[in-house]
Amino acid sequence: MPPNRMVALLTPVVALGAGGAATWLADNLGIQVDPAEMQAIFVAAIVAVLAPAAQWLYGSQKFERHQAELEQLALKADIESAAQTSEVEMEAATGAYEDEADDGEDDDGDDGYDDEYAAADDDDYDDDYESAREEQPAAY
């Protein structure tokens, strides 16, 4: 069980025990205390236990919040680092691929496609398209 939960669960029990112990000691040690002052002694003992426990719980929550913020920042830094690493690896891989593809043969930028056949191919396509439109649809 985490310490902050133990403090939260045990604080009321310890506070009541401290109040009861202070009242018993004031009553049994022979100190002349009015019955009205017994309640004040009880409350003072409870406050003496509750105040440090509340302060400890507040500090514990602040610490947990700070740890969560640090974890968020670390995750963000990891993600950014991974993104930069993947970009560098991608650039390196792309550069290596471009180096392999660039063997010095087709430097004119035509990618091996002859323009003289392009016009003939387009004409054939147009003719095929027109003849298909002129055909009658099949009867089913």
DSSP 136: P
What pTM did the predictor assign?
0.46
pLDDT of 94: 76
* Closest-CA residue to 17 (of 38, 42, 37, 40): 42
Return the DSSP state at 104.
S
Per residue of the chain (140 residues), what is the pLDDT tens digit?
777 778 878 888 888 888 888 888 887 887 777 877 878 888 888 888 888 888 988 998 999 999 999 999 999 998 888 888 887 777 777 765 555 555 555 555 555 555 555 555 555 556 666 666 666 665 55
The reported pLDDT for the residue numbered 19 is 82
Query: Which pLDDT score, from 0 to 100, does residue 72 have?
Result: 94
Q: What is d(CA 27, CA 21) in angstroms, rounded to the nearest whole number? A: 10
Residue 99, pLDDT score:
54
Q: What is the pLDDT of residue 108?
A: 55
The answer to whether the beta carbons of residues 10 and 50 sit under 8 Å apart is no
- Predicted confidence at residue 74, as pLDDT, reads 93
What distance in Å separates the CA atoms of residue 52 and residue 13, rounded to the nearest whole number? 14
pLDDT value of residue 69 = 95
CB neighbours of residue 38 within 10 Å? 16
